[in-house]
Structure 1
Amino acid sequence: MSLVVTDPDAPSAPEESTVDRPPHPEAEVAEELAAVRPDLVQRYAAELPGARAAVLTRLWRALAHEPLPWITGRSPGPVLRLSGGRTLHGPPADPYATDAYVTMVHLDGTAYDDPARLMTDLAVPHGTDFAAELGHSVASLALSRANQPAHTTEWPTHDWEWEQRIVDGHPFHPNCRSRPGFSVAEQLAYGPEHRPVVALGSVPVRAEECLLTGAWPDELRDAGRLLIPVHPWQAAHVLKRAGDAPVDAHPLMSLRTLALAGGTHVKTALSARLTSSVRDISVYSIGLSAALSAFGEALAARSDGLLHVTRTLGAATADSPDLAAVLRESPQKYADTEAGERVLPVAALATTGLPRSPAWLAEFTRLALVVGLRLLESGVALEAHGQNLLVVLDRTGAPIRLVYRDLADIRVSPERLARHGIPVPELSGRIVTDDETTLRRKLFGSLVAGALAGTAGSGTVLRAALTTVVPKLERTPDLLALLQQPLPTKALTLMRLSPELPGDQWTGLPNPLVLEPGPSDQ
């Protein structure tokens, strides 16, 4: 059976286009869905226009603000001038908006509501692969939205239930739900927003063949072998073998990290590209995990009770990024449940309704900036986006403390640590840097352009919160840089269109305190 989902109001592609188009992911997902969950087909079709707008909004943000080499100029409107003489125009691009407000853009007068079709017809280097990812992002997002239960006002009780409330994925990445390599059945079986119970197996490896840091529990040992937890998708597609002795686990918002019944969180290798990166676990990160965990505990002890850092219990790899796992304690450990406290990822705050209160958002912004800027001044830049950063709420819903998890991508400045009399940990590699630009990008890009912007939902609301909070903060050089320069953020689309350039690439967004274009936006 061939099932094609179309939108009657969608604009047709330019008649003169001679681009060979592969099968559209929307139709591919519809056909698979008809076979595995026919009850969702109609809801999936109804969600497609909104999913296209959500991804197009993220793509338009990137086109309007990232230094893409084939965009030769930008004029008010905005109108983007492309190499070769074409023009692209759409609505004003709020770089901090999370609602899907871009439903149509125009390329040389032709209307597009489909981000994958737009990227295909832009015909830029590496655009074909990226267009396929955008199509998968739209289709997967529509599938995620179609499989949601009726709205409930009850707050979850388990940590994994909070994580599974994040349906739309990354608030600013066009590949917010791109899962190439996952069938529809696998998305339904493993995607956290689909609320599955996952059978998490393990692979036995002789202990002498493994790199192990920290402690490894007895229940994951057997006759001189380490039992390394392995995600079912990884077992099927990469390791080509089933995991042994499966146990029930609940996927968290990162999909490859799962919560076990006893509360332990297990980060597994997943050699698939989700949003920007292949989610394996490097031998480098396993080797540093114990030292980073101890360092994180020391940082938390210096935070006046405002920050907790989840401990890494153990990490092991069979000398391969494809077979590795990290065991972490649950952030729930840092909430006094008897006192009515809850801890939830910042990305889940939008599901509580709390950010709609300007006073609440200002207090949360103050807490996040105080903690982040203190650590930065001391020599540690957190990757404090909405997944890694969690907030503890008291019984009334007020934000009182922060919890941080996954230290693998922080940046540490030995010079700043020494200046403040903090013992310098034995770390090496990319984590270690004294470069001020790198340190500030890491924190500001993740915390302000990420967690705070995503919680605020628009530049206007973010500006109001910052305007309330900033005058009361200590005037450090880092804060002055935040106030006086464009706000750094990862150029996520540029990175996907530049596979030959490894590492992060950056752009500057209009400073949310003034909302005027910065130098990189001209």
Structure 2
Amino acid sequence: MTSLALDSPAAVAVAEEASVSALLRCCVREIAGPRGQVGYEEPYVLLRVAGTRLRARAHGGLALRFEGRPEWLENDSWQPLSADLLVRLVETELGESEAEGNDEFGAQVAASRDALATLIAARREVPPPADPWLASEQALVFGHPFHPSPKARGGAGWLRYAPEAHASFPLRLLGVRDDVLAEAGDTGALDELGQAPPGYSLLPAHPWQLELLAADLAAPLADGRLVDLGDSSRTAVPTSSVRTVYEPLIDRCLKFSLDVRITNCVRKNSWYELAGAVELSRRLEPVFLDLAAAFPGTRWLPEPGYRSAELGTRLLEGLGVIVRMGPWSVCRPGVTPLLSGALAAGRQGAGAVPGDVPGPADRPPGGAPTMAGWPVADPARWWRAYVERVAPPVLDAYFGHGVVLEPHLQNVLIGVDAEGLPVEAVFRDLEGTKLVAGRHDLSGLPGRVAEALTYDAASGWNRVVYCLVVNHLVEIAASLAGTGSTRELWAVAGEVLAGYAASRGWPRPLSDLLSGAPLPAKANLSVRWARSADRSAGYVTVANPLATA
């Protein structure tokens, strides 16, 4: 399949442009911006990296959507900017200013670009799912717009499991002998996937993960602690995170471990995250009941149980599967859940993907915008409804309940009615959800589980503001506005947020936000350059769009 991408000039060209755009955004945010080397001369954003002048036609405010090819100045003449040249400039700039170099960085950017070309070519060969929610899950072709290698994938053979390539595949079923079964919470839905032998319990597994764990699995398969029961009778559909799949036979999402690096992290369920998911689901049930009563349309996807095998830490984590409710089961009839990331994705300055579905900001000249193909007749009304569904429950979870939700674009589904108007918000993925330290009694939990479940108040607020505003609302506003100004949209958002702030007595952090205090933005380029774990990522400050609304 890789040769397909290399033989597809259109896919290669789009992948190159998308890679330049993503890395250039990182340069504006993390290199040139903090050094005072960014300026604006309509319609261009101008910056310097390693002493070289760069420019790009930009719109979308903080989202930095680019039109056309970014350029660099050579001998008083503007030339097209390539990903390879931009990588060399970044390496020069950071190599001079940081304590250590990074001889892996260029290869990671190139690998991400090649993977993107492969995905663009491959997704044209297979139609998207008929289910609009699943189609939206598989629509994140370009990945994180502010990441230097947004489609980095570790391991081999990944394409057949890639959601962006419209993949689907049967899960592998294992039997776990009951004396080595590890589980907690409600896992009964897993038993509906097949029939385990007497004395065994059924354990679904991601086939890619079984390939990665083959050497570790040999002994327990040989001595009968595990048995291989073959493929499931139905195909599962990978969602946007790659390792979480939807299993239609049981109407559940199953979150697996994958011992490969995807973007920033090796995506495995650590033992304390398995236990933490069940604990959080128990604690969050009354919280979301309160949020739904205060903010109608608020939904969430509980993770009521996990199952694995007690065969040492590596296999406990590697075979661990977290059961998550599916979105159709929590949305009311007539409401269609759509991934917020798909609504925001647009073309991100990368041009159209040949043969792909329309993007959020695609519209005929003078026509109304669409969001993931849903028409938006009144953008201001649509935006107000969107912000009202998403922002107040996130803020109230923090201020009212001491809960830090992680509402970035891959963790929120928007339920739209028959007219495409947002009427529900579905929050999911408890891995990033935390409890504010000091507001919850965690004394009965193992120390590592309690540690993984908590943030101090300041760290929690930074995470809320970054995920909600910088990662999420900024990108949705840019897609909705297209090439126009987002100022009117941010004025509407300010009204919604001020209404909530007034109901809570204007808490200081929210007052500062509405007054235009700079925002925290996650430093993805810096953490990749430092080769650090994603949890070590810091923040840089960026302009607050509410300040000029």
TM-score range, shorter chain: 0.7 to 0.9
Partner of 2:265: 277
- Residues 233-278 of structure 1: per-residue CA shift (max 9 Å, x gap): 2211333469642222111111111111221111111111111111
Q: Secondary structure at the match of 1:133?
A: helix
- Residues 183-235 of structure 1: per-residue CA shift (max 9 Å, x gap): 4xx31x11112222212113444444343111233346544444433222221
Residue 290 of structure 1, aligned match among 275, 278, 281: 278
Please identify, of 426-435 and 459-468, the stretch whose mean Cα deviation from structure 2 is larger.
Answer: 459-468
Residue 497 of structure 1, aligned match among 529, 533, 541: 529
Unaligned runs of 5+ in 1: 1-31, 517-522
Shift of 1:512: 1.4
Shift of 1:172: 2.8
In structure 2, the CA distance between the partners of 1:95 and 1:278, relative to structure 1 (3 Å rule), is farther
Residue 167 of structure 2, aligned match among 196, 207, 213: 196
CA distance in 1, matches of 2:337, 2:148: 28
Residue 178 of structure 1, aligned match among 133, 152, 155: 152
In structure 2, the CA distance between the partners of 1:201 and 1:283, relative to structure 1 (3 Å rule), is same
2:495 is the alignment partner of 1:507: no
CA distance in 2, matches of 1:137, 1:106: 22
Q: TM-score, normalised by structure 2?
A: 0.76
- Checking the alignment, whether the CA contact within 8 Å between 1:95 and 1:509 is kept in structure 2 is no
- Residues 492-513 of structure 1: per-residue CA shift (max 9 Å, x gap): 1111111257622111111112
Partner of 2:406: 383
CA distance in 1, matches of 2:487, 2:272: 39
In structure 2, the CA distance between the partners of 1:111 and 1:434, relative to structure 1 (3 Å rule), is same
Q: How does 1:421-440 map to 2 (within 5 A)?
A: 428-436=450-458, 438-440=459-461
Residue 518 of structure 2, aligned match among 481, 486, 491: 486
Partner of 1:33: 2
CA distance in 2, matches of 1:293, 1:384: 16
> Given residue 69 of structure 2, which amino acid in structure 1 is its aligned partner?
T
Paired-residue identity, %: 23
- Checking the alignment, whether the CA contact within 8 Å between 2:277 and 2:304 is kept in structure 1 is no
> Given residue 271 of structure 1, which amino acid in structure 2 is its aligned partner?
D
Q: Secondary structure at the match of 2:184?
A: strand
In structure 2, the CA distance between the partners of 1:130 and 1:203, relative to structure 1 (3 Å rule), is farther
CA distance in 2, matches of 1:482, 1:102: 33
> Given residue 79 of structure 1, which amino acid in structure 2 is its aligned partner?
L
- Checking the alignment, whether the CA contact within 8 Å between 1:346 and 1:389 is kept in structure 2 is yes
In structure 2, the CA distance between the partners of 1:289 and 1:103, relative to structure 1 (3 Å rule), is same
Shift of 1:359: 2.2
Partner of 2:212: 237
CA distance in 1, matches of 2:124, 2:253: 25
CA distance in 1, matches of 2:443, 2:461: 19
Partner of 2:421: 398
Q: Secondary structure at the match of 2:240?
A: coil
In structure 2, the CA distance between the partners of 1:381 and 1:313, relative to structure 1 (3 Å rule), is closer
- Checking the alignment, whether the CA contact within 8 Å between 2:32 and 2:49 is kept in structure 1 is no
2:103 is the alignment partner of 1:80: no
Q: TM-score, normalised by structure 1?
A: 0.79
Q: Secondary structure at the match of 2:279?
A: helix
Shift of 1:56: 1.5
- Checking the alignment, whether the CA contact within 8 Å between 2:376 and 2:420 is kept in structure 1 is no
> Given residue 33 of structure 1, which amino acid in structure 2 is its aligned partner?
T
In structure 2, the CA distance between the partners of 1:205 and 1:150, relative to structure 1 (3 Å rule), is closer
Shift of 1:178: 1.9
In structure 2, the CA distance between the partners of 1:222 and 1:328, relative to structure 1 (3 Å rule), is farther
Partner of 2:468: 447
In structure 2, the CA distance between the partners of 1:151 and 1:261, relative to structure 1 (3 Å rule), is closer
Q: How does 1:148-167 map to 2 (within 5 A)?
A: 148-149=123-124, 156-157=130-131, 159-167=133-141
- Checking the alignment, whether the CA contact within 8 Å between 1:341 and 1:392 is kept in structure 2 is yes
- Checking the alignment, whether the CA contact within 8 Å between 1:452 and 1:462 is kept in structure 2 is no
Partner of 1:325: 321
Partner of 1:469: 493
Partner of 2:336: 342
Partner of 2:352: none
In structure 2, the CA distance between the partners of 1:45 and 1:401, relative to structure 1 (3 Å rule), is same
Q: Secondary structure at the match of 1:301?
A: helix
Q: Secondary structure at the match of 2:521?
A: strand
Partner of 1:27: none
CA distance in 2, matches of 1:72, 1:203: 54
Residue 49 of structure 1, aligned match among 1, 9, 13: 13
Residue 97 of structure 1, aligned match among 42, 60, 63: 63
- Checking the alignment, whether the CA contact within 8 Å between 1:281 and 1:322 is kept in structure 2 is yes
- Checking the alignment, whether the CA contact within 8 Å between 1:487 and 1:512 is kept in structure 2 is no
Number of matched residues?
Answer: 465
> Given residue 297 of structure 1, which amino acid in structure 2 is its aligned partner?
E
Shift of 1:416: 4.9
- Checking the alignment, whether the CA contact within 8 Å between 1:144 and 1:168 is kept in structure 2 is no
Shift of 1:50: 2.3
CA distance in 2, matches of 1:462, 1:389: 22
> Given residue 214 of structure 1, which amino acid in structure 2 is its aligned partner?
G
CA distance in 2, matches of 1:470, 1:219: 48
> Given residue 55 of structure 2, which amino acid in structure 1 is its aligned partner?
G
- Checking the alignment, whether the CA contact within 8 Å between 1:205 and 1:226 is kept in structure 2 is yes
In structure 2, the CA distance between the partners of 1:490 and 1:347, relative to structure 1 (3 Å rule), is same
Shift of 1:59: 1.1
Q: Secondary structure at the match of 2:398?
A: helix
- Checking the alignment, whether the CA contact within 8 Å between 2:140 and 2:164 is kept in structure 1 is yes
Partner of 2:105: 130
Q: What root-mean-square deviation, in Å, do the aligned CA atoms of Structure 1 and Structure 2 show?
A: 3.3
Q: Secondary structure at the match of 2:147?
A: coil
Shift of 1:155: 10
Please identify, of 103-112 and 316-325, the stretch whose mean Cα deviation from structure 2 is larger.
Answer: 103-112
> Given residue 287 of structure 2, which amino acid in structure 1 is its aligned partner?
L
Please identify, of 358-367 and 106-115, the stretch whose mean Cα deviation from structure 2 is larger.
Answer: 106-115
Shift of 1:150: 10
Q: Secondary structure at the match of 2:322?
A: strand
- Residues 346-395 of structure 1: per-residue CA shift (max 9 Å, x gap): 11223234568232123202321111111121211211111111111122
Partner of 2:384: 362
Please identify, of 252-261 and 467-476, the stretch whose mean Cα deviation from structure 2 is larger.
Answer: 467-476
2:86 is the alignment partner of 1:118: yes
Shift of 1:101: 3.3
Q: Secondary structure at the match of 1:513?
A: helix
Shift of 1:284: 0.7
In structure 2, the CA distance between the partners of 1:490 and 1:515, relative to structure 1 (3 Å rule), is farther
